[in-house]
Every structure is written in C-alpha cells, then in structure tokens.
Amino acid sequence: MLNLVSITEDDEIDMEEIKEKMRELQKEEKKLQKKLDELNHNIIEENRTEKSVYALEEAVKYYLTVKGTNLKVEQRQKLLRMIIREVEVVDPETVNVLTF
C-alpha cells in the first residue's frame, strides 16, 4: 500500500486523484491475489496428479513382477494399498473409494 504524506492546500495533487489511484491499486491487488490463489491451486493439483501417476506406475510394476495371475491374499492387499488412498463408508449402501 502507498504511504501518503500529509498534503497541504498548496500541493498540486488533488485528494480525489489520490483516492482514485488507491481504488485502482486495490482492484489490481485483488486481481493479482486471485491469480496467485489460482496458481497455488494449480500447483497443488499438479502435485496430486504426479503422486497418482507414480502410485499407479508402482502398482503396475508390482503386478507385472508377481505375474498378476493367482495372486495370494497378501499380494492382492499390497497391490490395493498401492492404489487406494482412502475408503469412506457413508452408510450401509454407500462406500466411496478414493485412489491416489
């Protein structure tokens, strides 16, 4: 924000001009803050996507390593834990499964 020095009646700067400039700067500040928030949101989403891709790649590598057929219960559990981030039971008929 601008620091305004006290203005005397002899100054050539009109108070209305200063107020108008302040309003313009505040609008610009809000616009830039909104853009910053959008960029931060995009960064978070990009990181989440990268983690998801990595988790899926690791799960596929593991599946191919164990040959995918006739997996034991422990191997299936490990594979699912690589892919599933959270299981949310909403009610007896609704279950949400969130993946990486």
**Where exactly are the structural domains of the chain?**
15-99
Number of helical (H) and strand (E) elements in the chain, helices listed first: 2, 2
What is the reported pLDDT for 8?
47
What is the reported pLDDT for 1?
46
Residues 6+ apart with CB under 8 A from 65: none
Q: What tens-digit pLDDT sequence spans the chain (100 residues)?
A: 445 555 545 456 678 888 899 999 999 999 999 999 999 998 888 877 777 777 778 777 777 777 766 778 887 788 788 888 888 899 988 988 887 7
